Every structure is written in C-alpha cells, then in structure tokens.
Structure 1
Amino acid sequence: MQLKDLKVVVTGGAQGMGAHFAQRLHEAGAQVAVGDISEEKLAALPAGIHRRRLDVSNEEDCIAFVSWAHQAMGGLNGLINNAGILRDALLVKKDKTTGQVKKLSTADWNAVIGVNLTGATFMVREVVAKMVETEQKPGVIVNMSSIARHGNRGQSNYVSAKAALAANTVTWSKEFAPFGIRVGAIAPGMIETPMTQGMNQKARDALVANIPVGRIGLPEDIWVAVKFVLECDYFNGRTIDVDGGLAF
C-alpha cells in the first residue's frame, strides 16, 4: 500500500514514536488521525493531522474514536497500534535491609495490561470492524510489540502484553485475511523516547552498553520498519525485531 493512500489511526500519537510516525505519514501525504490521553500534546501536532483525546483502555472511548476518525478522514484503512505505558517492578522482591517482601501491585498489573493489551485489542477490533462494515480493502494493521516479549526481568506485566500482541499478530493475520487486511508487528528495543528517558539512569546505561551497534535507537529507526510493513503487501503475520542486536 502506498503511504499517500492511507487513512490511518495512530494511537499514543502525541509524543515519542507515535508522534514521529504521525509526522512521517503526514509528510508522505497520508491522512492521519491521532489519539492520545494528553490533550496538550495533541494540540502541538502539526496542522492537517486530525487529533482527538483517546484512552485506549476505555472501550467506549475506542468505539467513539474509530467512528470519529472514519468520518474525519472520509474512510479508514490502517492502524498503528502504538499506545503503551510502563509500570516496571519485580513480581516478588525482598528488601535486603528490612527483609520485607514486596509484590507487584494489582494496580500496576492492570494498568499495563489495560493499555498495552486490552486497549490495543479494542482498537484492532473496532478498526477492523469498521473496515469490514464499509467493505474497505486492502487494509493494514501495525502492532507495536517489544523485544521484551522474549522475557525481561522486572517487566512481567509489560512482557505479558507485548508477547500477546506478537502472538495475536499471527492470529489476526489469519482471521482478517478474508477481508483483505494484513497484520504485522514491530518489536523495538531501546529507543529514545519520553518513556525510556524516565528510566533509572543506571539501568538505562547498562542496557545501552549491551547494544552491539553502540547506541540507543531513534524513532526514525523504528519508522523505517513501520514503513516497510505498511508498504510491503507480501508482509503478513510476522514480528520484526528492531533492537540494534540487543540481548538481555
């Protein structure tokens, strides 16, 4: 699919990688509808990009957003499923000084699963349902997974969500094939975004030291992979790791 032919939703698109994707798509002539919880950051997006507040963990928000985006763009044939949050913690931890046992909170588990998995699934469901209802084809979905899907200490919630997204990329590619809709996933490694900038500096430095290419990734590195999935009509049901060779 040519980028200029896209009428695409980008979730979590007001900052970080999502904002970069939205900007690149807009520059290429695509129509773009960005959803994000930050109305302030949405307002800062370039003119010509449709924008509306969206909490993907809220089912009614997802339904309303997709209906609005379809109307605003005069159609809908793509989704970049980018919204995500981190609430990192060990599942069980014992304080070395006090001996106190601490557990990953239910709130932190539910928050990450709610946005990164349930919300992502809501968005796929609603976008695909709209494309099927309007007999729009071809269509394309890009899920943002993570190399953490292979397992990473301190990220039980995040790993669970991102592994499920990668697995469902295969599932959905099979389910949506009769409708002419492809599904692919990108699994970024360590990327320079507001999310990673908020990491503990020691942990961040240790991760960067393990990247063979010798640097943290940039949103443009991930955009190159997203662009490939959008444009290559023979790519379907697979996840691409873009991580500089990082091994946990």
Structure 2
Amino acid sequence: MQLKDSVIIVTGGGQGLGRAMAEYLASQGARLALVDLGQERLDEAVAACKTAGGDARGYVCNVANEDQVSDMVNQVATDFGTINGLINNAGILRDGLLLKQKDGEIQKMSLTQWQSVIDVNLTGVFLSTREVAAKMIELGSKGLIINISSISRAGNVGQTNYSAAKAGVAAMTVGWAKELARYGIRVAGIAPGFIETEMTGSMKPEALEKMTAGIPLKRMGQPQEIAHSAAYLFENDYFTGRILELDGGLRL
C-alpha cells in the first residue's frame, strides 16, 4: 500500500501516540482524518500534519458512541472521497487494584472504572473497525486497519480493565484479519511497551525509574518509533493477523 494520498483515520489523533503517528504518515504524503474529543487539540494536530506535508482534517467524536462513530466515518468518506486505513489508537486509563485492604476495609475496583475503559478501549475499537470496514467495502477500497494493543495484554498488576481490553483487541485483530482478507482489507496490531507520552509522563518519578530499569534496552520507547512501525505495516502488503511487539524486550 502506498502511503502517498492514502486516506487514513486515526482515533485519539489529537495527542500522544495518535498525533505522532499522524504526523509521520503525513510526512509520507498520507491524508489524515484525526478523531478525538477535544477541538483545540485536534486543531493543533491538524496544523502539525499539514506542516509535515500531508492534508488533514479533524473530527470530534466519542469512539464509544455508536451513532457518533457512524456519522464520523460517513463524513470522512464524504470529505475525502475514500478511506484506505484506520488506526484504532483512542484509549484511556483508569488504573487500580481489583481489591485493596486498607485500615481493615476492602476497597474494590468500581464498575465505573471497569466499564469506562472497556467502553473506549475495546468497544470503541469494535465500533470504529466495523464502520470503517463496512465503508471500505461499500467504496471498493482496500487497505489496512491497525489496532493498538499493549504489552499489558498479557496481564499487569493494577490494570484489570486495561489488560482485559487490550487482550480483547489483540484477539479481535486475528479474527478480523481472517474475516476481512476476502475484501482486500488487512488487520494488524501494534503492542507498545512503555512509551514516552503524556500518559506515562503523569506517573511518579520513582515508578518510572523502577519501570525503566526492568526494560532490557534501559529506556522507554519514543512515539516516533511506534509511528515508523505503523508506516511499515501500511506499506507491507503481506503483514496481517499478527501483533507487532514494540517493548524494548520487556516482559511483564
């Protein structure tokens, strides 16, 4: 797949990994539809993509809302004339232990903590993929859908909700690759380890230091390294149904 002039939707494209991937793809001539919740960040990301050399537009959309996702995909197809790819990157964290005993009382992860992460990180991927794939088939376009999973899909302390969602994303990637291949649509995944983003930047310094010490390469990954890998997946037409692990050799 040629990146130049390809139309690619990036959810969570207003910041972090999403913006980094969008800017890199724009530098290769791709046309980006950036999806996020905040208009201000979208505007900044769109401007950055244009500066990098690609066309871009922003779309305010909650990926956990079925109607909003459907409307967004239809609008992107109208604005750009086609859709060639999707990066399911939007995600949130609501970390916490399943149970924690404090002062003789047991504190529990709330259903809200669980459901909010499942809604965005798992259901959002399902809805976005379903609508984009349907539109691509309708338009007769071929391309790639990338799902952003995580090293935490193997299970991580304090991330019951996040790990469950990212494991589900990895499993859906394999199934969808088999289902959609007949339409010329590939589906692949990227499972980042710990990457320097706003999300990890909010962690306590001592926690970051301890985490980094356990990475064989002794450093966190850079957003540009994930972006470069996303571009590789788009350009390699024989990569499908697999998860690309980018974690510096770390195993949880």
Q: Which residue in the other structure is 2:138 paired with?
A: 133
Q: Distance in 2 between matches of 1:202 and 1:111?
A: 28
Q: Which residue in the other structure is 2:14 paired with?
A: 14
Q: Which residue in the other structure is 1:28 paired with?
A: 28
Is the aligned partner of 1:72 residue 2:76?
no
Q: Distance in 1 between matches of 2:232 and 2:222?
A: 16
Q: Distance in 2 between matches of 1:71 and 1:196?
A: 36
- Partner residue of 1:195 out of 199, 210, 226: 199
The answer to whether the Cα contact below 8 Å between 2:143 and 2:234 also exists between their aligned partners in 1 is: no
Q: Which residue in the other structure is 2:69 paired with?
A: 62
Q: Which residue in the other structure is 2:90 paired with?
A: 83
Q: Which residue in the other structure is 1:228 paired with?
A: 232
Q: Distance in 2 between matches of 1:111 and 1:202?
A: 28
Q: Distance in 2 between matches of 1:8 and 1:174?
A: 21
Give the secondary-structure state (helix, strand or coil) at the position aligned to 2:114. Answer: helix
Is the aligned partner of 1:246 residue 2:232?
no
Amino acid at match of 1:145: S
Q: Alpha-carbon deviation of 1:201? A: 2.8
Q: Distance in 2 between matches of 1:240 and 1:135?
A: 27
Give the secondary-structure state (helix, strand or coil) at the position aligned to 1:191. Answer: coil
Is the aligned partner of 1:120 residue 2:125?
yes
Amino acid at match of 1:67: N
Normalising to structure 1: TM-score of the pair? 0.96
Q: Alpha-carbon deviation of 1:202? A: 2.6
Identity fraction in percent: 47
Q: Distance in 2 between matches of 1:191 and 1:199?
A: 12
Q: Which residue in the other structure is 1:104 paired with?
A: 109
Give the secondary-structure state (helix, strand or coil) at the position aligned to 2:58. Answer: strand
Q: Distance in 2 between matches of 1:79 and 1:102?
A: 39
Amino acid at match of 1:93: K
Q: Distance in 1 between matches of 2:239 and 2:23?
A: 23
Normalising to structure 2: TM-score of the pair? 0.95
For 1:77-101, what per-residue CA distance to the aligned partner results, in whole angstroms no more than 9, with x for missing partners?
1001100010000111111xx1210
Q: Which residue in the other structure is 2:179 paired with?
A: 175
Q: Alpha-carbon deviation of 1:205? A: 1.8
Q: Distance in 2 between matches of 1:221 and 1:134?
A: 32
For 1:49-94, what per-residue CA distance to the aligned partner results, in whole angstroms no more than 9, with x for missing partners?
1101111111111001101111111110100110001000011111
For 1:185-228, what per-residue CA distance to the aligned partner results, in whole angstroms no more than 9, with x for missing partners?
00000001111111233322211111111111110111122111
Q: Distance in 1 between matches of 2:172 and 2:27?
A: 30
Q: Distance in 1 between matches of 2:154 and 2:190?
A: 13
Give the secondary-structure state (helix, strand or coil) at the position aligned to 1:101. Answer: strand
Q: Distance in 2 between matches of 1:117 and 1:202?
A: 30
Q: Distance in 2 between matches of 1:21 and 1:213?
A: 22
Give the secondary-structure state (helix, strand or coil) at the position aligned to 1:247. Answer: coil
* Structure 1 spans left out of the alignment, 5+ residues: none
* Structure 2 spans left out of the alignment, 5+ residues: none
Q: Distance in 2 between matches of 1:148 and 1:58?
A: 25
Give the secondary-structure state (helix, strand or coil) at the position aligned to 1:57. Answer: coil
